[in-house]
Chain A
Amino acid sequence: MATFREWCIRLWQTLRGRRADGDLEEELRSHLAMAAEDEQRRGHSPAAAVRASRIDAGGVTQTLDALRDQRGLPWLESLAKDSRYALRALRRSPTFTVVALLTLAIGIGANTAVFSVVNSVLLKPLPYPDADRLVAVWHTAPGAPGVATVSGGLRLSQSMYVTYAEENRTFEAIGLWAAAAMTVTGLAEPEQVRGVVVSDGTLQALNVPPIAGRWLLAADQKPGAPATVMLGYGYWQRRFGGDRSVIGRTITVGSRPRTVVGIMPQGFRIVTAEPELIVLGPLVRSQLTLSGFGYEAVARLKPGVTIAEADADIARMVPIWMRSWPTLSGADPRVYEGWRITPAIRPLKLDVIGNVGDVLWVLMGTIGIVLLIACANVANLMLVRAEGRQQELAVRAALGASAGRIVRALLLESVWLGLLGGALGVGLAYGALRVLVTMGPANLPRMNEIAIDARALGFAAAVSLLSGVLFGLIPALKYRGPRIAAALHGGGRTASASRDRHRARGALVIAQVSLALVLLVSAGLMIRTFQALRAVDPGVTHPEQLQTMRISIPVALIADAERAERTQNAIVDALAAIPGVTSVGFTTMMPVEGLAPDWDAVTAEDQPLTAGETPPMRLLKYVSPGLFQTAGTRMIAGRDYTWTDLYARRPVVIVSENLARELWATPAAALGKRLRSLPTVPWREVIGVVQDVRDNGVHAPAPATVYWPAMTESLYSPGQTNVVRNVTFAVRSHAAGTEGLLNQMRQAVWSVNANLPLASVRTMQEIYDQSLARTSFTLVMLAIAGAMALVLGIVGIYGVIAYSVSQRTREIGIRLALGAQPGALKTMFVRHALALAGAGVAIGLVAATGLSRLMSSLLYGVSPLDPVTFGAVPVLLVAAIMVASYLPARRAAAVDPVNALKAE
Chain B
Amino acid sequence: MSNRDTAKADILQGTLDLMILHTLDTLGPLHGYAIAARLEQVSGGAHRLNMGTLYPGLMRLEQRGFVRGKWGVTDSNRKARFYVITAAGRRQLATEKAEWDRTAAIMQTLLNEPR
* A residues in contact (CB < 8 Å) with B: 2, 5-6, 9-10, 13, 19, 24, 26-28, 30-35, 37-38, 56-60, 62-63, 66-67, 69-71
**Closest Cβ of chain B: how far from A22's Cβ, in Å?**
13
- Report the separation of the CA atoms of residues A457 and B36 in the bound assembly, to the nearest whole angstrom: 54
Of A5, A31, A66, A67, the residue contacting B33 (CB under 8 A) is: A31
Is A66 a contact of B79 with CB atoms below 8 Å? no
Is B51 a contact of A58 with CB atoms below 8 Å? yes
Q: 6 closest pairs, A vs B, by CB?
A: A58-B50, A34-B33, A63-B52, A70-B56, A58-B51, A63-B51
Of B53, B55, B65, B80, the residue contacting A34 (CB under 8 A) is: B80
- Report the separation of the CA atoms of residues A213 and B1 in the bound assembly, to the nearest whole angstrom: 79
Of B1, B48, B55, B79, the residue contacting A28 (CB under 8 A) is: B55
Of B32, B53, B65, the residue contacting A31 (CB under 8 A) is: B32
Could you jot down 29 A-B contacts, CB within 8 Å? A5-B63, A6-B60, A10-B63, A13-B63, A24-B55, A27-B32, A27-B55, A31-B32, A31-B33, A31-B55, A31-B80, A33-B78, A34-B33, A34-B74, A34-B78, A37-B76, A38-B37, A57-B50, A57-B51, A58-B1, A58-B50, A58-B51, A63-B55, A66-B55, A66-B56, A67-B55, A67-B59, A69-B56, A71-B59
Q: A31-B55, A70-B60 are in contact. List 6 more A-B contacts (CB 8 A).
A: A6-B60, A13-B63, A27-B55, A57-B50, A59-B52, A66-B55
| Interface residue? B81 (CB, 8 A) | yes
- Report the separation of the CA atoms of residues A34 and B81 in the bound assembly, to the nearest whole angstrom: 13
Interface of A is mostly: helix
| Chain A residues within an 8 Å CB radius of B53 | 58
| Chain B residues within an 8 Å CB radius of A13 | 63
Taken residue by residue from 20 to 35, chain B's Cβ proximity to chain A (1 for < 8 Å, 0 otherwise) reads as: 0000000000011100
| Chain B residues within an 8 Å CB radius of A66 | 52, 55-56
| Chain B residues within an 8 Å CB radius of A38 | 37
A30's closest neighbor in chain B, by CB?
Answer: B80
| Chain A residues within an 8 Å CB radius of B102 | none
- Most A CB contacts (10 A, CB to CB) among B33, B37, B51 go to B51
| Chain B residues within an 8 Å CB radius of A59 | 51-52
**Closest Cβ of chain A: how far from B3's Cβ, in Å?**
14
Interface size on B, residues (CB 8 A): 24
**Closest Cβ of chain A: how far from B17's Cβ, in Å?**
11
Is B52 a contact of A58 with CB atoms below 8 Å? yes
- Report the separation of the CA atoms of residues A62 and B64 in the bound assembly, to the nearest whole angstrom: 23
| Chain A residues within an 8 Å CB radius of B56 | 63, 66-67, 69-70
Is B79 a contact of A56 with CB atoms below 8 Å? no
Is B48 a contact of A56 with CB atoms below 8 Å? yes
**Closest Cβ of chain B: how far from A705's Cβ, in Å?**
82
- Report the separation of the CA atoms of residues A32 and B64 in the bound assembly, to the nearest whole angstrom: 26
- Most A CB contacts (10 A, CB to CB) among B37, B52, B56, B78 go to B52
- Report the separation of the CA atoms of residues A38 and B48 in the bound assembly, to the nearest whole angstrom: 14
- Report the separation of the CA atoms of residues A861 and B40 in the bound assembly, to the nearest whole angstrom: 94
Is B51 a contact of A60 with CB atoms below 8 Å? yes
A65's closest neighbor in chain B, by CB?
Answer: B52
| Chain B residues within an 8 Å CB radius of A5 | 63-65
Is B51 a contact of A28 with CB atoms below 8 Å? yes
**Closest Cβ of chain A: how far from B83's Cβ, in Å?**
11
**Closest Cβ of chain B: how far from A160's Cβ, in Å?**
69
- Report the separation of the CA atoms of residues A38 and B74 in the bound assembly, to the nearest whole angstrom: 14
B57's closest neighbor in chain A, by CB?
Answer: A70
- Report the separation of the CA atoms of residues A66 and B32 in the bound assembly, to the nearest whole angstrom: 16
| Chain B residues within an 8 Å CB radius of A24 | 55
**Closest Cβ of chain B: how far from A349's Cβ, in Å?**
51
- Report the separation of the CA atoms of residues A13 and B64 in the bound assembly, to the nearest whole angstrom: 13
Is A30 a contact of B78 with CB atoms below 8 Å? yes
- Report the separation of the CA atoms of residues A10 and B64 in the bound assembly, to the nearest whole angstrom: 10
- Report the separation of the CA atoms of residues A718 and B65 in the bound assembly, to the nearest whole angstrom: 94
- Report the separation of the CA atoms of residues A652 and B48 in the bound assembly, to the nearest whole angstrom: 119
| Chain B residues within an 8 Å CB radius of A2 | 64
| Chain B residues within an 8 Å CB radius of A71 | 59
- Report the separation of the CA atoms of residues A32 and B79 in the bound assembly, to the nearest whole angstrom: 12
| Chain B residues within an 8 Å CB radius of A60 | 51
Known A30-B78, A66-B55; judge A6-B63 contact (CB<8 A): yes
| Chain B residues within an 8 Å CB radius of A58 | 1, 50-53
Is A35 a contact of B33 with CB atoms below 8 Å? yes
Known A5-B64, A6-B63; judge A62-B33 contact (CB<8 A): no
**Closest Cβ of chain A: how far from B82's Cβ, in Å?**
11
- Report the separation of the CA atoms of residues A340 and B99 in the bound assembly, to the nearest whole angstrom: 80
- Report the separation of the CA atoms of residues A654 and B8 in the bound assembly, to the nearest whole angstrom: 107
B65's closest neighbor in chain A, by CB?
Answer: A5
Is B81 a contact of A27 with CB atoms below 8 Å? yes
| Chain A residues within an 8 Å CB radius of B59 | 19, 67, 70-71
- Report the separation of the CA atoms of residues A27 and B33 in the bound assembly, to the nearest whole angstrom: 10
A13's closest neighbor in chain B, by CB?
Answer: B63
A59's closest neighbor in chain B, by CB?
Answer: B52
| Chain A residues within an 8 Å CB radius of B78 | 30, 33-34
| Chain A residues within an 8 Å CB radius of B52 | 58-59, 62-63, 66
- Report the separation of the CA atoms of residues A60 and B51 in the bound assembly, to the nearest whole angstrom: 8
| Chain A residues within an 8 Å CB radius of B55 | 24, 27-28, 31, 63, 66-67
**Closest Cβ of chain B: how far from A59's Cβ, in Å?**
7
| Chain A residues within an 8 Å CB radius of B33 | 30-31, 34-35
| Chain B residues within an 8 Å CB radius of A26 | 79
| Chain A residues within an 8 Å CB radius of B37 | 38
| Chain A residues within an 8 Å CB radius of B51 | 28, 31-32, 57-60, 63
**Closest Cβ of chain B: how far from A56's Cβ, in Å?**
6
- Report the separation of the CA atoms of residues A38 and B1 in the bound assembly, to the nearest whole angstrom: 23
Taken residue by residue from 53 to 73, chain B's Cβ proximity to chain A (1 for < 8 Å, 0 otherwise) reads as: 101100110011100000000
- Most A CB contacts (10 A, CB to CB) among B55, B64, B65, B79 go to B55
- Report the separation of the CA atoms of residues A71 and B57 in the bound assembly, to the nearest whole angstrom: 11
| Chain B residues within an 8 Å CB radius of A70 | 56, 59-60, 63
| Chain A residues within an 8 Å CB radius of B76 | 37
Of A6, A19, A31, A57, the residue contacting B64 (CB under 8 A) is: A6
